[in-house]
Structure 1
Amino acid sequence: MTTLFALLSIVLYLISMIVLMGRLFHKEGPNKTLALSLAAVGSIAHILYLADAIMGVPGQNMSMTNVLSLISWLITVSMLISITVLPNVMLLPGVLGFAALSVLAALVIPAAHIMHIELRPGLLIHITLSLFAYGTLVIAFLYALQMSYITHRLKQKEAALIHSSMPPLMLVEGILFKLLLVGTGLLVVAQLSGFIFLEDMFSKGYAHKTVLSLAATAIYIFLLVGQRVWGWRGKQVIGLTILGLVLLSLAYFGSRFVREILL
């Protein structure tokens, strides 16, 4: 049954992605009702699969592939819920494709990283905040890419080709900075919780994660200050957003990728 849920979520995500992409730049737009319904059912199958994959062992199997799939689920659900108020139809195909790949990776790569979070409430708080911070900053990264694409189209004098699926540049920019502010705030609180509840933040096995995540936090704070004080827009914002996410991804997944996947 677990495998069935995984396969069902992959199929539904991919069909929804195809429905959206087929008419994404058509003047009438894609069939959002059909696509979102398929994606919503896919997200339900996704979390049912993850519930068994993570909780179906003594403790919790927080392997890299399971955590990545959980993050992709959080991002997918957030995007589906926010679609009525945020311009994210253009971003959904990529989000759904990534979610499908993350489920497939969790299904075919049987990595294990058993934890007993229930015995350490502080660790649960730290992990939860970290997941939400990372998910929020990934969504901010997607909006940064969207902003870059719209800016490019406008500079190429292709504004007439921008349909309803492509929102106004200023709206996307405003959403991007709100997401960066929320994500950075969550990241700071997550790191504070780590220093409060965990005793090994600078131990041999975790020092690189701590240093990289602190560097990413510094970059995001620098970006927000630059936008507020110096009015940064465009390339500076996009470049620093990408750099911050790369450092954060290395902090969260770098060493675990080597241990769980390559070795």
Structure 2
Amino acid sequence: MNATLAGIAAALLYTVASAMLGRQLLRREKPRAPVIQALGGLALPLHLISIHAQIYQPTGLDLGLFHISSLVGWLIAALAIGMSLYKPIISITVAAFPLAILGLTLSLFAPSTYTPGTLTPGAESHILLSILAYSVLTIAAAQALLVAVQDRHLRTHKQGLMNALPPLQTMESLLFSLIGTGFVLLTLAIVTGFLTLNDLFAQHVAHKTVLTLAAWTVFAVLLAGRHWLGWRGPTAIRFTLWGFALLLLGFYGSKLVLELVLGRSA
């Protein structure tokens, strides 16, 4: 199947699923999870065909900004759908699918400035763990936003999304499960980076390393506060979004500057 057509078909399926779920949430209806899961499940393999054709080049792996964005979008959508099969988290796809659409669209229509090349097994492990950690923590950030809306509606005695989402306690439990998983993956990514890469504090990647370590610290403090002080609600939301913002700057900011501004592979 043509990779471009596969990508376009995947984007259309994500769009239909997003529109359907958004409409149900706006109407304060319980999301029809099986339909959303089916549409997303059909989109995932088509999206993967597009990713494979873009990243795997004759001269090596093309890990440019837009291709990585498509891969991250696919992982976010896949994780959201997978988790929704056994946890009441289908509402998170209202953010996951648009992110997948954005990454996929950029990879299809924006030119790559990355120079493909081969990687050592250690570097591949570091990159894979980094992408997984970022994907999980992106879902956690989206979950934190949903918890923030739900908490605000609860405090102001508005029904709104309350009827369409699981209880707040369940939503917060899911949030910390995501943060815990993402934190473990981020820790492994940092460790493999220090063990397998030459110099994580070299001039062109130092800011990425510092921002990633700062994000790791924020998530570590949040999890410690949750365990020993029972942090939840607005405090948990703020820490989650601060940590994600730092990670976003480290993960995407450095690649954007290096590739699109300086014309170097990151």
Q: TM-score range by the shorter chain?
A: over 0.9
1:35: which partner in 2? 36
Seen in structure 2, the aligned counterparts of structure 1 residues 92 and 51 have a Cα distance that, compared at 3 Å, is same
Map residues 85-124 of structure 1 onto 2, 5 A cutoff.
Answer: 85-117=86-118, 119-124=119-124
1:194: which partner in 2? 193
Give structure 2 stretches of 5+ with no counterpart.
none
Give structure 1 stretches of 5+ with no counterpart.
none
* Cα deviation digits, residues 178-215 of structure 1 (max 9, x gap): 21111111111111111100112111111111111111
Q: CA deviation at 1:9?
A: 1.0
TM-score, normalised to structure 2's length? Answer: 0.92
2:138: which partner in 1? 138
1:10: which partner in 2? 11
1:50 & 1:245 partners in 2: Cα distance?
25
Instruction: Return the letter of the residue paired with 1:121.
Output: P
2:153/2:160 contact within 8 Å kept:
no
Map residues 51-200 of structure 1 onto 2, 5 A cutoff.
Answer: 51-117=52-118, 119-159=119-159, 162-163=162-163, 165-200=164-199
1:233 & 1:108 partners in 2: Cα distance?
41
2:226: which partner in 1? 227
Instruction: Return the letter of the residue paired with 1:144.
Output: A
Q: CA deviation at 1:31?
A: 4.0
Q: CA deviation at 1:258?
A: 2.4
Q: CA deviation at 1:92?
A: 1.2
Instruction: Return the letter of the residue paired with 2:23.
Output: G
- Tell which deviates more after alignment, 8-17 or 23-32: 23-32
2:28/2:160 contact within 8 Å kept:
no
Seen in structure 2, the aligned counterparts of structure 1 residues 7 and 221 have a Cα distance that, compared at 3 Å, is same
Seen in structure 2, the aligned counterparts of structure 1 residues 27 and 238 have a Cα distance that, compared at 3 Å, is closer
1:133/1:186 contact within 8 Å kept:
yes
Q: CA deviation at 1:223?
A: 0.9
Instruction: Return the letter of the residue paired with 1:4.
Output: L
2:24: which partner in 1? 23
2:113/2:260 contact within 8 Å kept:
no
Seen in structure 2, the aligned counterparts of structure 1 residues 89 and 211 have a Cα distance that, compared at 3 Å, is same
Instruction: Return the letter of the residue paired with 1:114.
Output: T
How many residue pairs are counted as aligned between the two chains? 261
Instruction: Return the letter of the residue paired with 1:103.
Output: L
2:172 & 2:83 partners in 1: Cα distance?
16
TM-score, normalised to structure 1's length? Answer: 0.93
Instruction: Return the letter of the residue paired with 1:131.
Output: I
2:56 & 2:28 partners in 1: Cα distance?
45
1:62/1:112 contact within 8 Å kept:
no
Q: CA deviation at 1:56?
A: 3.1
